[in-house]
């Protein structure tokens, strides 16, 4: 059986999916047609139900939970992994003249933008752009603040840019929970045995990656643009961790906390489906 699969070309995703798409593990007869896109493009594809399996931001997941369920493996959660708000000038403060500040964001439905809305609700002049274009837009004074994700966490200082706030740290102080950034979801309409098979195969792929961290180096590098190997593995170490193997109760609780906070602020709609594909500790209880 062939399934469509979307994820980003970033090192954390290619690291996770390498063994699965290159049959380094038992895929139990599954084949995958892969689409590589940035997270906001993947979010939009999920809104249109284009892919059988896809990476998306947890913010976007709230809008498609009636069509997709979250797999146990492949998610990006953790401490110290949040998006950064940066500026060209070290004295730029989002608390001053907020309504006039132009903010480059990597997408309306990214978890990064959700966190920014929590921390600085007065920042309303937002300009959506591809995540990799935000640093250059700052340097050209096209925007006043930039919200960066992915590998840009490791490159902005080299370009003379300055951190205003780490929104991951902000979230951790507010909640004490890990910050959920993105997850892997699967269409609910697929047969149950197929969904469970994908769940098993994906976990097997992540476990293989951890056991053989250099196995996919050529594949990871081929999609990492100009990123050097040290930065590639910094990126992987930051976003791939125990929650990527299995969310567990702690990871699921962090996601529940994010959605409860978002729902209380009217940022996301009511969710009537169980979020998780398998063995949800909140089954029957999690109705936002």
Is 112 part of any known ligand binding site?
Answer: yes
Task: Identify whether the C-beta of residue 71 lies closer than 8 Å to the C-beta of residue 183.
Answer: yes
Is 175 part of any known ligand binding site?
Answer: no
Of how many residues is the chain composed? 288
Is 92 part of any known ligand binding site?
Answer: no
Is 57 part of any known ligand binding site?
Answer: yes
Q: Which of 59, 97, 150, 279 is catalytic?
A: 150
Is 242 part of any known ligand binding site?
Answer: no
Please name the residue that has the structure tokens 């102080």: 173
Neighbours of 223 (CB within 10 A): 15
User: Is 150 part of the annotated catalytic residue set?
Assistant: yes
Binding region: 55-57, 111-112
Binding region for substrate: 55-57, 111-112
Q: Annotated catalytic sites, by residue?
A: 150
């Amino acid at each position: 059986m062939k399934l469509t699969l979307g994820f980003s070309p970033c090192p954390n995703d290619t690291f996770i999916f390498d063994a699965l798409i290159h049959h380094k593990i038992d895929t139990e007869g599954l084949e995958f047609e892969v689409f590589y896109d940035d997270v906001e493009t993947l979010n939009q594809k999920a809104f249109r139900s284009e892919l059988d399996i896809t990476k998306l931001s947890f913010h976007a997941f709230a809008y498609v939970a009636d069509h997709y369920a979250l797999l146990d493996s492949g998610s990006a959660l953790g401490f110290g992994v949040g998006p950064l708000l940066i500026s060209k000038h070290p004295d730029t403060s989002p608390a001053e003249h907020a309504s006039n500040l132009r903010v480059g964001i990597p997408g309306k439905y990214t978890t990064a933008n959700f966190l920014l809305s929590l921390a600085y609700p007065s920042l309303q002049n937002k300009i959506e752009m591809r995540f990799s274009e935000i640093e250059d837009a700052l340097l050209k004074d096209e925007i006043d603040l930039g919200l960066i994700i992915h590998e840009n966490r490791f490159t902005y200082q080299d370009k003379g840019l300055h951190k205003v706030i780490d929104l991951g740290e902000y979230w951790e102080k507010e909640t004490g929970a890990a910050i959920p950034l993105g997850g892997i979801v699967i269409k609910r309409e697929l047969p149950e045995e197929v969904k469970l098979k994908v769940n098993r195969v994906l976990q097997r792929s992540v476990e293989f990656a951890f056991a053989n961290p250099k196995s996919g180096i050529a594949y990871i590098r081929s999609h990492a643009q100009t990123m050097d190997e040290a930065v590639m593995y910094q990126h992987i170490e930051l976003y791939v961790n125990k929650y990527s193997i299995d969310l567990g109760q702690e990871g699921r609780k962090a996601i529940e906390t994010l959605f409860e906070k978002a729902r209380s602020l009217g940022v996301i709609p009511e969710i009537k489906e169980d979020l998780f594909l398998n063995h949800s500790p909140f089954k029957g209880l999690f109705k936002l």
